[in-house]
Amino acid sequence: MYTLYGAEISYFTGKARAYLNWKQIDFTEVQATKEIYQSVILTKVGWPVIPVLEGPGDEILQDTSDIIDTLEARHEGVSIIPNGDFQQLAALLFEVIGDEWLVIPAMHYRWAYNREWAHAEFGKMAAPDQPPEEQLKIGRKNAVLFEGALPVLGVIPEAVPAIEAAYETFLAQFSVHLEHHDFLLGARPCIGDFGLYGPLYAHLYRDPASGEIMADKAPKVAAWVERMRDAEGAPGAFVAGDTIPETLLPMLTDQLRDFVPVLRSTADALSNWAADKPSGEPVPRALGPHAFQINGTDSQRMIFPFNLWMLQRPVDHYRALSGEDRLRADKFLENIGALSLFQDTDWPRLTRQAFKLVLA
């Protein structure tokens, strides 16, 4: 029996919850109130973060990728990891995009279109027993940190039209794919679906104004969100022959066009920072600002080393390939504009210790 500490409003709790439901793992969800943060999360994790999964014997797992990797290895049943090397590479790439890149439109739409609603939700999460007026006050106070993250992510007024245009393009491309497949790689979800589900459910579907936009512009995407939310290990197969549907290529190409330069710049910054640091050195959550482009518009954001920890997952998979499998992967990555990133992986390796990022 597991306990998931999280919240409906939380990006990554959505990803973890959907996986637990899909895998039909017995769990109870506990809302991360102020008291839970103080008595459980800060005590057992050491810093304020959700979701946190508590397992048998007081086991604590934090970070959705660690949670999913651990439970996939432990629990039998339908797997979300494709057996095919080619499909696995695509699935891991989509997980990185969902976790680390779609946070930009997710945060923009929440605070540009759903601000007052989000304040009320933050208040309900922190103080469920308080009256609505008090919850709203608490929510406004607690949301300051999250609203303040917009420029940190590159969400500045000048970039807003580009962010919205890129998101609408993503919705249109995903809609085309969903005309042919229920999920990214066929008739059952892969790890990439769960990566996309975090932002698309918790922010862009569930937040009311954003949800109306999705329902109006991309009803097939809204239906996919509902399938992901409601599916519980339903039978289904990945596309046969370890192939990747052609309809996924525009999605990957457009997302990676702007994300790859960010990742390369992040790798350079991490290499410079780590040059004189020993193994086990804690890595800052941010390494200063850098310039980037989104949909042809210049902006600036902070450098997040965690992006590279996530990128290590598909890179490690790629580096284990050889022969025809490597050549096939090279062609695929070249077609979506990511080959140079995968071939040039000479940045410091990262790991996690005590729920924090450190140099390996």
> Mean pLDDT per segment of 10 residues, for the chain of length 360 residues?
96 97 96 95 96 96 97 92 96 98 98 95 90 91 91 97 98 98 96 98 98 98 97 86 97 98 97 97 97 97 98 97 96 97 91 97
29 strand-pairing partners: 4
Q: How far are the Cα atoms of 229, 253, 316 from residue 174, in angstroms, in the given order?
A: 17, 12, 27
pLDDT attached to residue 125? 87
> Helix (H, G, I), strand (E, B), or coil: what is residue 300?
strand
pLDDT attached to residue 233? 76
Contact 293, 265 (CB under 8 A): no
pLDDT attached to residue 61? 98
Measure the CA–CA gap between 339 and 356, rounded to whole angstroms: 29
What is the DSSP code (8-state) at residue 249? H
> Helix (H, G, I), strand (E, B), or coil: what is residue 303?
coil
pLDDT attached to residue 232? 79
> Residue ranges of the alpha helices (H) in the chain?
11-23, 34-36, 42-44, 64-74, 85-100, 103-113, 115-126, 132-147, 149-153, 160-178, 191-202, 208-217, 219-230, 249-274, 306-319, 323-335, 339-343
Counting Cα atoms < 13 Å in the Cβ hemisphere of 131 gives 1
Q: How far are the Cα atoms of 42, 88, 349 from residue 311, in angstroms, in the given order?
A: 27, 14, 11
CA distance from start to end of the chain: 32
Measure the CA–CA gap between 125 and 290, rounded to whole angstroms: 34
Tokens of 159: 């970039």
Phi, psi of 149, rounded to the nearest 5 degrees: -80, -10
What is the DSSP code (8-state) at residue 292? E
CA dihedral 303, 308, 311, 313 (to 10 degrees): -150
